[in-house]
């Protein structure tokens, strides 16, 4: 009973890493000139849609210490962040805030307007559930109302750095330390009799909600690409064979279609061809029946092109298998799946073996052949 179980295990394993890898490319795929390292791999974006940006209302509270005396200001603002990398691990942001209270002292404004920007960089690779990130920022702060010294506005620069945590890519809390510098009058010491200098420290707590979590600013997730060259064989059948037979005139097209219909017929002495081999058998049989016709060379070329494209597709399958053993996914899949009935139409023939009025077959996706099969 052990032997059947072992055989079944090997069959199910498929391209598993435990099996010996396929032969190297120069041996397994002569038509493929590139080594396995050449194909570009594909990395998915994960569970959540990738966003082109983040738009977050924010509430924040600042505490400025001037020689040990705290000054509070609180308010609301709006922040927009744009991803610098597709996985959103690095982001550039700009913000606009309005706060009320005081900064540095009671003489630099009662209402503050702040505009700035900065960068955020996350520590984690997966942002699906939670995220930890560092941030740096720089902004211009302007205070209005209650400004002493005959000035209508007090200006300052705010340089900051801190840490943030975000949950479900929606709710975030940030703690940031700042260095504030007054470009105008210096700050007044708590005793109101001396100067406290032009720079003070500041710490803030911000709460943000990213409205893009509703999904309205997601962009399409990265998807695996495909290169389908099936139409190439149909185009060659039309241009190299059908049009050549038409140019010959006479009954050349009628004979071509009759031979094509005979090549499709099942044989009593041979078993039916597998789907992947049917096109090759059809083209080979057609070239044999057309032997001696002026366009027979074009039919041989068509058969050789089909063989080359089939090998090109097989090389792509081997690439996928080898990369899968390494836990990677190929970026662009190779597709080639011709049908005999479609070839018959591309040759300018109907299902009964009669020539159609013209060689006017049109492909839906006329992708070019790979260079190796040109």
**Which DSSP string do the residues of 280-298 spell out, in sequence order?**
HHHHHHHHHHTTTSTTHHH
Distance CA 175, CA 360 (A): 69
Query: Is the per-residue pLDDT at 49 higher than 50?
Result: yes
pLDDT at 100: 93
Show the tokens assigned to 165. 């945590």
Residue 13 is predicted with a pLDDT of: 44
The band of 30, judged by pLDDT with boundaries at 50, 70 and 90, is low
pLDDT at 272: 57
pLDDT for 136? 96
What residue ranges of the chain are covered by domains with CATH 2.40.160.20?
Answer: 50-219
Task: Show the CA angle centred on residue 173, arms to residues 169 and 178, nearest 5°.
Answer: 130
The average pLDDT across 170-197 equals 83
* 147 contacts: CB under 8 Å, gap ≥ 6: 107, 108, 109, 153, 154
The reported pTM is: 0.56
Q: What percent of the chain has pLDDT over 90?
A: 28
- Assign 2 a pLDDT band (cuts: 50, 70, 90): very low
Residues 6+ apart with CB under 8 A from 355: 253, 254, 256, 257, 348, 349
Separation CA 281–CA 22 (nearest Å): 27
Residue written as tokens 């055989």?
Answer: 7
The confidence score (pLDDT) of residue 221 equals 67
More confident residue, 149 or 284: 284
Residues 182 and 154: beta-carbon distance below 8 Å: yes
What local confidence, expressed as pLDDT, does residue 217 receive? Answer: 79
Measured between alpha carbons, how far is 332 from 136 in angstroms, rounded to an integer? 39
CB 35, CB 25: distance < 8 Å = yes
Return d(Cα 75, Cα 98) in angstroms, integer.
6
Q: Return the number of other C-beta atoms located less than 10 Å from residue 272's C-beta.
A: 10
Average pLDDT, the chain: 81
Q: What is the pLDDT of residue 369?
A: 81
Q: What are phi and psi of 62, to 5 degrees?
A: -115, 145
Residue 285's pLDDT is 86
Q: Identify the residue with better confidence: 12 or 217.
A: 217
Query: pLDDT tier at 266 (50, 70, 90 boundaries)?
Result: low
Report the pLDDT value the prediction gives residue 4, as an integer from 0 to 100: 44
The rounded percent of the chain whose pLDDT value lies above 70 is 80
Taking alpha carbons only, the member of 24, 41, 30 closest to residue 373 is: 30
DSSP helix/strand/coil, 26: helix
Phi-psi region of 169 (alpha: psi -120 to 50; beta: other; left: phi over 0): left
Q: What is the pLDDT of residues 214-253, one digit of tens each?
A: 878 777 667 778 889 999 999 999 999 999 889 888 888 9
- What SS3 state is found at 48? coil
> In the predicted model, is pLDDT for residue 265 greater than 80?
no
Cβ count near 157 (within 10 Å): 16
- Kindly state the average pLDDT of the residues 313-334: 82
pLDDT of residue 290: 78
Question: What pLDDT is recorded for position 17?
Answer: 42
CATH number for the segment(s) 50-219: 2.40.160.20
């Amino acid at each position: 009973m052990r032997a059947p179980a072992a055989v079944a295990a090997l069959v199910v394993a498929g391209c598993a890493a435990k099996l010996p890898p396929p032969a190297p490319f120069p041996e397994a795929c002569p038509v493929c000139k590139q080594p396995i390292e050449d194909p570009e791999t594909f990395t998915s974006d994960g569970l959540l849609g990738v966003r082109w940006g983040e738009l977050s209302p924010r509430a924040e509270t600042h505490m400025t210490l001037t020689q040990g005396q705290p000054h509070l200001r609180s308010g609301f603002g709006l922040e927009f962040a744009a991803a610098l990398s597709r996985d959103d691990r690095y982001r550039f942001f700009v913000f606009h805030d309005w706060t009320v209270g005081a900064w540095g002292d009671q003489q630099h404004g009662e209402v503050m307007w702040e505009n700035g920007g900065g960068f955020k960089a996350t520590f984690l690779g997966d942002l699906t559930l939670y995220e930890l990130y560092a941030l740096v920022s720089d902004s211009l702060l302007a205070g209005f109302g209650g400004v002493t010294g005959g000035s209508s506005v007090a200006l300052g620069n705010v340089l900051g750095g801190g840490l943030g945590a975000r949950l479900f890519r929606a709710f975030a809390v940030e703690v940031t330390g700042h260095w504030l510098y007054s470009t105008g009058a210096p700050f007044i010491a708590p005793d109101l009799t001396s100067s406290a200098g032009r720079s003070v420290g500041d710490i803030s707590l911000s709460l943000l909600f990213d409205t893009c979590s509703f999904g309205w600013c997601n962009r399409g997730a990265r998807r695996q690409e495909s290169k389908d060259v099936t139409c190439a064989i149909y185009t060659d059948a039309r241009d190299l064979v059908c049009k050549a037979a038409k140019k010959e005139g006479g009954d050349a097209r009628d004979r071509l279609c009759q031979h094509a219909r005979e090549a499709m017929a099942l044989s009593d002495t041979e078993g039916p061809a597998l789907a992947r081999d049917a096109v090759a058998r059809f083209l080979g049989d057609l070239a044999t029946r057309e032997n001696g016709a002026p366009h027979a060379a074009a039919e041989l070329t068509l058969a050789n092109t089909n063989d080359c494209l089939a090998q090109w597709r097989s090389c792509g399958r081997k690439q996928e298998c080898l990369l899968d053993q390494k836990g990677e996914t190929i970026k662009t899949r190779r597709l080639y799946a011709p049908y005999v009935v479609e070839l018959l139409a591309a040759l300018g023939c109907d299902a009964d073996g009669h020539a159609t009025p013209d060689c006017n077959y049109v492909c839906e996706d006329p992708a070019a052949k790979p260079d190796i099969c040109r």
